[in-house]
Structure 1
Amino acid sequence: EKDVLEIKKARRVLEILTKDQRLKNYGPYKNAVQEYVEALAYYFVIKKGFIPTRGELGSDTETYLMGLSDLSGELMRKGINDAIKGMAKDTVKMRDVVDEIYGLILDLDLDGGEARRKTDQVKYALARLEDIVYDMKIRDKL
């Protein structure tokens, strides 16, 4: 697939850039790597049905978890859109993936302002999807 080739090119660039230690704490670079992790993880979840490992993405632990936290927002939006389209089982899948992300983040017990904000972001996405799944069950849509 063309998208996979583009992603692999981006990963090679990322691997080259991560060798420069000065970039590790540079804000725009960190944000770009988190976006990369989020985009590639989204691809894995939607096309392959699972969350990729940190190793598969070539990312450090913190960046991986921050990217997955951002991914939860995208999966929440997809789950909501799936519910609107009457695709209840897909909404449940998105809820399950966000629940898995939340478990990964809680297991690591991250500190810090950004980590706390990102954890809250995942918790919100999970709660929103749980509410939607509950509503679908009540209405016999599931």
Structure 2
Amino acid sequence: MRSLLFRTAIPALHLFSPKTLTLTLTLVPLLPRSFSSKSPPMASSKDEPPSSSSSLSIEKQFEGFRAHLEDSNSLRDRIRAVAVEMESATRILYSSLLLVHQSLPISEVLVKAARQIEVLKGHYGRLAEILLECPGQYYRYHGDWRSETQTAVSLLAFLHWLETGNLLKHEEAEKKLGLGVSEFGLDIEDYLIGICFMSNELPRYVVNQVTAGDYDSPKKVLKFLTDLHAAFRMLNLRNDFLRKKFDGMKYDLRRVEEVFYDVKIRGLAPVETAEEHSMQT
């Protein structure tokens, strides 16, 4: 009777295996002893970082950058506009100098070139006025007119040599261009590069002069280039643009030497006096 009641109370217990029974019991969730329906506390708004003030400071800084860049670009555009006019003036000056290769009198060449020199001087005056608006920033904008300055120095040096037979000095070049006032002067490296450019014209000048019957010009040009090349060798030049231009000067010197020796071998060179020979030695 007792076994019958036990089977009736749990009629299907004998149908489960021990493993199945254990798995079934473990799947029943257990509730904690104390359950609270309250949600976790939210973070206070006071703990958030002050992003609004940080954004304003960043925006204010970049607003200053924007104004600075706009002023700089406006100033650079004005400088480049003057540089374009300087380039045009140097091209006209160079075209005037080309007449010397046609055996025209040097006096006529100098008169035509003098007009463009005054034009160039006026352009440099305008450039100096613009640079007064940004004191202490000469080399920041220097690259915008550097090439034109080097060309101008080479042409002025060639003109000066045609007129005097001597090298145009740095101070003389500044004076001709109206520079040397306040912070706006002639950069030494630009001057030296311009002198190297000037030497490129001398071999052509010698050939044209000999063709025109001036057999004394090779000796004069050779002496000038030899002294100039020796002076450049005093400088400790590094592997940059100036060094490359100086290396090109030796080829100009070699071409002039070839013309001089050719004229001398053919017996076309004037006979040197004892006084001239002693001065050269």
Tell me the TM-score normalised to structure 1 length. 0.85
Cα gap change, 1:63 to 1:95, in 2 (>3 Å): same
Q: Deviations over 1:59-96 (max 9, x none)?
A: 32211110010111111110111122231111222222
RMSD of aligned alpha carbons: 2.0
Q: Distance in 2 between matches of 1:95 and 1:13?
A: 35
Percent of aligned pairs with the same amino acid: 26
Shift of 1:5: 4.3
| Bigger share in helix | 1
Determine which structure has more spread, i.e. the larger CA radius of gyration.
2
Shift of 1:12: 4.5
In the alignment, which residue of structure 1 is the partner of 2:116?
A: 6
Shift of 1:104: 2.7
In the alignment, which residue of structure 2 is the partner of 1:139?
A: 266
Cα gap change, 1:39 to 1:140, in 2 (>3 Å): same
Q: Distance in 1 between matches of 2:113 and 2:212?
A: 26
Residues paired across the two proteins, number: 140
In the alignment, which residue of structure 1 is the partner of 2:152?
A: 36
Cα gap change, 1:80 to 1:48, in 2 (>3 Å): same
In the alignment, which residue of structure 2 is the partner of 1:64?
A: 191
- 45, 56, 70: which is aligned to 2:161? 45
5+ long unaligned stretches in structure 2: 1-110, 132-136, 175-185, 270-281
In the alignment, which residue of structure 2 is the partner of 1:100?
A: 227
Shift of 1:135: 1.3
Shift of 1:112: 2.8
Q: Distance in 2 between matches of 1:13 and 1:110?
A: 31
Q: Deviations over 1:16-43 (max 9, x none)?
A: 536561232x1x5221111000011111
